[in-house]
Structure 1
Amino acid sequence: MSLALSPALRDALTNWLDHLTALDGAAENTVTAYRADVTGFLSFLAAHHGESIGPARLARVTQSDMRAWMASERGRGTASRSLARSLSAVKGFTRWLAERDGFDPTAILAARGPKYQRKLPRPLSENAAREVIDQVGTFAREDWIAARDIAVVTLLYGCGLRISEALNLTGADHPLPELLRIRGKGGKERIVPVLPAARKAVARYAELCPMAIAEEPGKALFRGARGGPLNPRLIAGVMEKARAGLGLPASATPHAMRHSFATHLLAAGGDLRAIQQLLGHASLSTTQAYTAVDSTRLMEIYEEAHPRA
């Protein structure tokens, strides 16, 4: 961290990040990104004003300072989405510090971030999703690896898991129960139902796997060829081969299988709140954007939930 930041401000940033981890359950990657974002902002202020930055100086930040920082970031080629995330981190830290130290953070909190278009993976059709699951099992030379790839992709589509969540399963999770406890982003837990097809696919993999999965409950359920935890890049690679063989777009990634899970549930009349819980989203607005719900379908859900007198 830059020496231009006072020890008090460095300590404050560390305490804020510890707060996010302990009380809000922020993921390690999130904490790392926020540390870089806030440090970058504070270092800019130090260079911009030619002086060490401490809590008192942060309290005197002006709207002009904020505009200068954002202009500097754009000049460095920072994308709008990344700049918006950095600004969010800066506001979060400033709000926390202002409440602790009792200063007015309005100049920072009032700064408006750049507009950007949220990029979402496009869902596959139901038929395409099934074809992908069938296709991923045709590339491996060994039956157990083919069964493994099918099992992982089936979990992504059948349970709406993130690839990291599927690969974090351990031998203790086998055989899969009807309801599976998943630890998602930020350590937040949720319960997801496991379809019979998913349980069957995992059981088939476990039956063929040459490693003693059931005897090693603390180790990864899904293994690589050498016995270590399965690398997510291998699943991405087999998905790439599958979409090439099926003529699907580049958006047909492992994450798109989770997206398809949610979209197909919603299209079948699933409740938006229930889908939010299944996906592990903190807010309903995230689920709405994630599932790319059209306005007509949203209105139907609203009318059903809030019938007019």
Structure 2
Amino acid sequence: MSTLESYLDALHQGVFQVVVPKAVVTEPLGPDWKRSPINVPSPETVASYRKGQYHAHETVSEYRVHMDRYDPEKNPIMHLVDDAPLLLMIHETMETIFVTGRDATRRGPRQRLADQQMSWRLRMGLGAVLLAIGAVLLLLTLYETVAVFAVLLPSFVLLFGLLTMIKGVRQRDRKEHADGDIVRGGMLAGAGIVLFVLWELYLLLILLILAVWFFSSAVVTLLRVFRKRGSLTTGFWYTFGLGVSSLALGVLAVTLPEELVELLLSLLAGIVLMSGGFLVLDAYGLRNAARLMGAGG
């Protein structure tokens, strides 16, 4: 009988990540492993679990486990600053989208059908929606950045609040859930209305938070580079580049905030466009696979 924990000693000896095949883990994950709903995207991940500083990404055939420096439940701020700086999140998100999309386009017809979780029409539609959202976001970034914060985000919050309220009203038979949805929806809708009026204030708050996040991540990362130069699990140059880039973005947040906003919105638009493009390509491949299988059957 072996647990996942019995294979994680290397993480305490400077190894960044341990890959454990599911076949060798004979015991199920214990109750201390809590499913994590919010994570930086990772290729092929079907679920993510945390146990203290341990963070496990589950794939179809294995567990990929690394150890965070801070437990997000006990110290969420330092976890965000040190374990999940914004640049790392953006890099890993784009890498995951690219790897997932590339692997999707390389599947054979039979594998595509075996792995299919939704119809190609639904994937095509979702991809088209993402492409449209990405294109609109990119156009707004290039020509009317203010509209993103003055109109788009407040509208999204207001709409989400109204939809939550409607969900609560339609589920009146489950009173405890319905009342909660109505209250939460009302608060979100109210927040959306406030954002329409005070969009400049919340934009300033966002920039302040970003500046503090960037500078904090830069200081922590660069201090680690100089203190542990020869024992960095992610490599000297990668860690040094991450720290310097965070410092540069922090300076940009203070000196050229408008340019920083445009840069971050452009990156967001790029991520959305990449996601939509790969979904459309995958849907096209699924459609061809379905036609081939139909012709063969």
TM range (shorter): under 0.3
Ranked by relative contact order (alpha carbons within 8 Å, sequence separation 6 or more), the top structure is 2
Higher strand fraction (1 or 2): 2
Structure 2 length-normalised TM: 0.26
- Structure with higher helix content: 2
